[in-house]
Amino acid sequence: MFKSSSKLISAISAIALLTACGTNGVTGTGINESQNIPQNDNVIEPDPIDNGSGYPALPFSFSVYGQAPTTATSDILTDNMLKVKITADSATRNQGTPTYTNFAAEYNCAVYKVTLQMERNGTWSDTTSVVTKSIAVPGTGGCQDSVESQTIDLSGFMTAGHGLVRIKVEAVKTDFYCILYNKCTSFARQYGYWSYDCYWAAQVNMTQYTCPLKTVYQYHTVNGNLEVQINGTDFQ
């Protein structure tokens, strides 16, 4: 729990977010460099009464479309602790389309690729990547063997003298086509023909889109959330 205080010493403002082409970017909090705790837009400090659970891990939300485009968090300062907890969020309308559309490629679960970026002598480079399990979207039935979240421990890469870090996220797969296939074949069995929204899919052989999960189509938007645990913070 955070609150404003006039006693807090001046803190650096959040470092600008890094966004890549084809993304909405990641939004989240910055870091109070002097105390190594989360900081919002206004100067804040943690409640002096420590409940033993630590300060909250840094929250970030992300929105990417297609498989190739990625997005990264703002620069993060930590010592020897770095853990990333990732959860899925529901789809929003397609992005990058030639013409505007309200269509959202809904999914019940998604697979992400999480990459640690590290700064060394002013140069950023990818250090290691982890492809997650299938992560269920809250409020849906998820998928077979899907999980509510996944925590990735990157602390082993926080060796002495390391620089700032970023977490890069990429959408790999969703079950959109599985949902579409079930919806369209159910309609076809009931009425004996493809519905209008399934007509295009019928032309490209719907059977190729049966489960399991498939690669994210170039315009489909995949969303999610990160909690980044650094020294002095904890997952709540």
Check whether residue 141 and residue 186 sit in a common domain: no
pLDDT digits (tens, 9 = 90+) for 132-190: 999 999 999 899 899 999 999 999 999 998 999 999 999 999 998 888 877 777 666 67
pLDDT: which is higher, 171 or 28: 171
pLDDT at 124: 93
Enclosing H/E stretch for 196: helix 196-203
Name, of 11-20, 44-53, 118-127, the range with top average pLDDT.
Answer: 118-127
Residue 9 CA from chain centroid, whole number: 32
pLDDT at 147: 97
Q: Who contacts 232 (Cβ-Cβ below 8 Å, separation ≥6)?
A: 35, 36, 37, 54, 55
Position 29 pLDDT exceeds 50: no
Check whether residue 68 and residue 124 sit in a common domain: yes
CATH at residue 145: 2.60.120
Task: Please give the average per-residue pLDDT across 198-221, as a whole number.
Answer: 72
Position 78 pLDDT exceeds 50: yes
Distance (Å, whole) CA 130 – CA 154: 10
pLDDT: which is higher, 80 or 195: 80
Count of domains observed in the chain: 2
Distance (Å, whole) CA 153 – CA 96: 33
**Can you list the positions of beta strands (E) in the chain?**
2-3, 23-28, 30-32, 37-39, 45-46, 55-56, 58-65, 70-72, 82-89, 109-120, 123-131, 135-136, 150-153, 165-174, 214-215, 221-230, 233-234
Q: Do 33 and 77 meet the contact criterion of CB atoms below 8 Å apart? A: yes
Q: Is cis: bond before 38, omega within 30 of 0?
A: no
pLDDT: which is higher, 102 or 53: 102
Check whether residue 167 and residue 180 sit in a common domain: no
Position 68 pLDDT exceeds 50: yes
Check whether residue 31 and residue 104 sit in a common domain: yes
Check whether residue 229 and residue 201 sit in a common domain: no
3 state SS of 9: coil
Residue 125 CA from chain centroid, whole number: 19
Residue 40: domain span: 2-174+221-234
Task: Please give the average per-residue pLDDT across 9-18, as a whole number.
Answer: 25
Q: What are phi and psi of 111, to 5 degrees?
A: -115, 135
pLDDT at 179: 83
pLDDT digits (tens, 9 = 90+) for 87-97: 999 999 999 99
Confidence of residue 198 (pLDDT cuts 50, 70, 90): confident
Check whether residue 169 and residue 120 sit in a common domain: yes
Burial class (CB in 10 A: 0-12, 13-18, 19+), 113: middle
pLDDT: which is higher, 194 or 167: 167
Task: Please give the average per-residue pLDDT across 60-71, as a whole number.
Answer: 86
**Percent of the chain scored above 70 by pLDDT?**
68
Name, of 9-13, 168-172, 173-177, 194-198, the range with top average pLDDT.
Answer: 168-172
Check whether residue 194 and residue 93 sit in a common domain: no
Check whether residue 204 and residue 142 sit in a common domain: no
pLDDT: which is higher, 28 or 101: 101
Q: What are phi and psi of 104, to 5 degrees?
A: -120, 125
Check whether residue 77 and residue 186 sit in a common domain: no
3 state SS of 157: helix
- Beta carbons within 10 angstroms of residue 198's beta carbon: 19
Any domain includes 216: no
